[in-house]
Amino acid sequence: MLRKTLIATLCTAAILSLPLTAGAATENYKSELGTVTVSQVAGGLNHPWAVAFLPDKKGMLVTERSGNLRLVTADGKLSAPLSGVPEVWAQKQGGLLDVVLSPDFAKDRMVYLTYSEGNGKTAAEGDKAGTAAGRGRLSADMTRLEGFEKIFTQEPKLSVGNHFGARLVFDRDGYLFIALGENNNRPTAQDLDKLQGKVVRLNADGGVPKDNPFVGQKNVRPEIWSYGHRNPQGATLNPWTGTLWLDEHGPKGGDEVNIVERGQNYGWPLATHGIDYSGVPISEAKGKFVEGTKVPFQVWEQSPGVSGMAFYDHNQFKAWDHSLFIGALATEELIRLQFDGDKIVHEERMLKDMKQRIRDVRQGPDGYLYLLTDDDNGSVLKVGLAK
């Protein structure tokens, strides 16, 4: 919770437990590169999951896991839920998840969403879910999505509530990547006939690109770009190289950052630095290289619970240049990885005293970082460095 520094003389334990409200004063936190400033843009969000910035300073779209898509205006006003959003399977980790804008949004006004989708059965009949993606056109008055259409669905549906993944990224050529969890069904991540534990690559309309690595192979899903993923929680494009980067939850230990390459196997569950929550080993090769799999770019033996991620490439705060920011759900902090070329040379843990589960991290058009806090009274936070 954010501390009310401007009324410090009145602070009590009760006051310190109150969340910062929209329009409240900026709060300051120490960091290695100077004072970090945090202010709330909007609050009152039900487990916000992702944010996408609209052009021309018209605000941002924010998903709530409960199933709502909302507009947050430039002055911090929170809209009523937009209509035209698909029905979602909002149970456990499922719900309305990621949101991104079309690369041609100025022309087509298309908004892309991922969400968990049920199989239409009752619990007694075997209710299960998977990740789906679709798109709709944002109306001129920004109150609804028009003509929403589903363009992808994860089959078979295996999840009883966990490991949906669901991050969306467009690359420089306009291809759409969707990072998919293995639905807590470990073997499927290595099964190329299933879409669990995969990154898929699609055309903007959901079609399969002809140059995908497994197109034409028997008993292999042509959508697949990479496999062996457990539960991707953050994905972004490296602004300097154009490569796709991914972070994903390990089990007990073994959170990873991976550079996603065409046709590669990222190991789960054959290779992992983590163990089962029960303490039982998952793989005999714990922490060791397994032939035919990619070594993680970064791995944590103690899981921070990685979430949304963003590279910093704006000139607003020079000290953050060539940093990768990653939210942490379990350890309630913001991780900053400092790069020199293609190597991580330093890791910093920030905003620990804020005591917030950070779900998403995005660089805004103004060069500030924007965070979403995962709570039933969640917030959009604006983060910068004091000058």
The C-alpha atoms of residue 44 and residue 78 are separated, in whole angstroms, by 9
Backbone angles phi, psi at 23, to 5 degrees: 85, -5
Q: How many CA atoms lie within 13 A of 331 on its CB side?
A: 20
Estimate to the nearest angstrom the gap between the alpha carbon of 131 and the chain centroid. Answer: 14
The C-alpha atoms of residue 179 and residue 146 are separated, in whole angstroms, by 25
211 exposed, middle or buried (CB, 10 Å; 0-12, 13-18, 19+)? exposed
Helices (H), the chain: 13-16, 105-108
Q: In what order do the strands lie in the sheet with 343-350?
A: 306-312, 323-328, 333-340, 343-350
Q: Is 131 helix (H, G, I), strand (E, B) or coil?
A: strand
The C-alpha atoms of residue 306 and residue 333 are separated, in whole angstroms, by 10
The C-alpha atoms of residue 36 and residue 65 are separated, in whole angstroms, by 28
Closest CA to 361 of 312, 299, 300, 319: 312
Identify whether the C-beta of residue 72 lies closer than 8 Å to the C-beta of residue 41: yes
- Can you tell me which residue has the tokens 């409200």? 21
Domains defined for the chain, CATH in brackets? 24-385 (2.120.10.30)
Q: In one letter, which amino acid is 307? A: S
Q: Tell me the per-residue pLDDT of 122-169, one tens digit each, with 9 for 90 and over.
A: 989 999 999 999 999 999 999 999 999 999 999 899 999 999 999 999
pTM: 0.93
Backbone angles phi, psi at 245, to 5 degrees: -115, 150
Closest CA to 308 of 130, 207, 165, 113: 165
Q: Tell me the per-residue pLDDT of 53-96, one tens digit each, with 9 for 90 and over.
A: 999 999 999 999 999 999 999 999 999 999 999 999 999 999 99
CA angle (162 as vertex; 188, 349 as ends), nearest 5: 105
The residues assigned a catalytic role are: 163
The DSSP letter of residue 374 is -
Q: Tell me the per-residue pLDDT of 230-248, one tens digit each, with 9 for 90 and over.
A: 999 999 999 999 999 999 9
Q: In one letter, which amino acid is 385? A: L
Q: Tell me the per-residue pLDDT of 182-212, one tens digit each, with 9 for 90 and over.
A: 999 999 999 999 999 999 999 999 999 999 9
